[in-house]
């Protein structure tokens, strides 16, 4: 397994240049043993009545119907074992950043493709939303491989552009998604945590389950810079040249506080928070995610 894992590194997968092949390699190559959906039993839906017969489970006895009609009825339910999942991918300019290797946006596309492939493979329905300042594409959840093909085409076409608008996009998605499901947000979360969390709480208020993949470049995490460095805001074009050693410590402290705030506030709102970095192999990331799902 250790030998095979080197082929799941983001840079190695990027050479395949085919999202379907990347997704299949990640999912079938390393987690194909996960046959049972971790989301089964998400909800149940009333189907019909029938008359009570001796031996029926009394927990399904409809006492209200008995009070109205004095007849004995059992409620029958149809269990919905398949999840409806929505993958929400941040396409703002900040996601275009790369120090070397692949960008945050490319990594996010590979992750989105792998999750979509995994969900459809286990017969769950998956949809896709692409957003920057607003929601630019919205595909409703379906469970067919034909639909997966269309999702992969849209991910191939997508390009990062414009400024970040995570909160407004989450509010728009919440307003237009009435049936509860699983919302998977893939973003660098470069927006005020107060605003982002308001959007996430809107999703939670509508009873959606939320998982956040907080994606950062390895240089954003490690700050390996030295000497005089010119930093450019990808979204505004603003530039600033500074000696790296003067603010390296402060940067790491602020980044640590930034990450810890999201981690704590997600936990307070029953949101599964999964930190990720662009040099992390996909099987490690997905295995960590699935292990958390299994504990929920």
DSSP string, 155-201: HHH----S---HHHHHHHHHHT--S--EEEEEE---S-HHHHHHHHH
Q: Residue 10 corresponds to which tokens in the numbers above?
A: 């983001």
Report the alpha-carbon distance of residue 224 to residue 205 in Å, rounded. 41
Report the alpha-carbon distance of residue 77 to residue 58 in Å, rounded. 14
By the 8 A CB rule, do 170 and 86 touch? Answer: no
pLDDT given at position 75: 63
Report the alpha-carbon distance of residue 114 to residue 28 in Å, rounded. 10
Report the alpha-carbon distance of residue 284 to residue 4 in Å, rounded. 12
Report the alpha-carbon distance of residue 294 to residue 26 in Å, rounded. 19
Burial class for 36, CB neighbours closer than 10 Å (0-12, 13-18, 19+): exposed
Helix (H, G, I), strand (E, B) or coil at 36: coil
pLDDT per residue of the chain (296 residues) written in tens, 0 to 9: 444 444 456 765 666 667 777 777 777 654 443 434 443 333 344 445 556 666 666 766 777 766 767 777 666 554 444 689 999 999 999 999 998 889 999 999 999 998 998 888 888 899 999 999 999 999 999 999 999 999 999 999 999 988 889 999 999 999 999 888 999 999 999 999 999 999 999 999 988 999 999 999 999 999 888 878 777 776 677 888 878 778 788 889 999 999 999 999 999 999 999 999 999 888 778 877 777 666 65
Q: Residue 96 corresponds to which tokens in the numbers above?
A: 């275009």
Read off the DSSP letter of residue 61: B
Q: Strand 182-187 vs strand 84-90: parallel, antiparallel, or unpaired?
A: parallel
The DSSP H or E segment spanning 273 is: strand 272-277
Residue ranges covered by each domain of the chain: 2-38+82-295, 43-80
Report the alpha-carbon distance of residue 59 to residue 226 in Å, rounded. 68
Burial class for 113, CB neighbours closer than 10 Å (0-12, 13-18, 19+): buried
pLDDT given at position 53: 65
193 φψ region: left (φ > 0), alpha (ψ -120 to 50), beta (else): alpha
Q: 106: closest CA among 166, 160, 148, 161? A: 160
Burial class for 93, CB neighbours closer than 10 Å (0-12, 13-18, 19+): buried
The CATH class of the 2-38+82-295 domain is alpha beta
């Amino acid at each position: 397994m250790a030998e095979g894992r080197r082929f799941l590194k983001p840079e190695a997968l990027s050479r395949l240049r085919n999202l379907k092949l990347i997704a299949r390699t990640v999912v079938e190559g390393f987690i194909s043993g996960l046959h049972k959906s971790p989301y089964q039993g998400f909800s149940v839906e009333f189907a019909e009545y029938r008359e009570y017969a001796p031996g029926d489970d009394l927990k399904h006895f409809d006492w209200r119907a008995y009070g109205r009609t004095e007849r004995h009825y059992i409620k029958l339910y149809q269990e919905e074992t398949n999840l409806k999942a929505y993958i929400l991918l941040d396409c703002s300019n900040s996601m275009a950043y790369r120090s070397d290797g692949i960008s945050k946006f490319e990594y996010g596309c590979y992750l989105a493709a792998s999750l979509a492939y995994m969900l459809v493979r286990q017969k769950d329905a998956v949809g896709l939303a692409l957003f920057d300042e607003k929601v630019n594409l919205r595909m409703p959840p379906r469970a067919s491989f034909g639909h997966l093909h269309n999702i992969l085409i849209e991910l191939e076409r997508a390009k990062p552009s414009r400024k970040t608008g995570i909160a407004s996009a989450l509010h728009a998605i919440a307003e237009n998604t009435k049936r509860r499901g699983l919302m998977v947000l893939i973003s660098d979360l470069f927006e005020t945590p107060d605003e982002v969390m308001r959007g996430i709480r809107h999703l939670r208020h509508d009873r959606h389950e939320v998982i956040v993949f907080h994606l950062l470049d390895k240089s954003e995490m490690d700050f390996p810079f030295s000497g005089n460095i010119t930093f450019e805001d990808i979204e505004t074009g603003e530039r600033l040249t500074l000696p790296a050693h003067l603010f390296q410590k402060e940067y790491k402290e602020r980044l640590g506080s930034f990450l810890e705030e999201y981690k704590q506030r997600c936990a307070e709102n029953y949101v599964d928070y999964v930190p990720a970095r662009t040099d992390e192999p996909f099987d490690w990331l997905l295995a960590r995610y699935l292990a958390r799902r299994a504990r929920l």
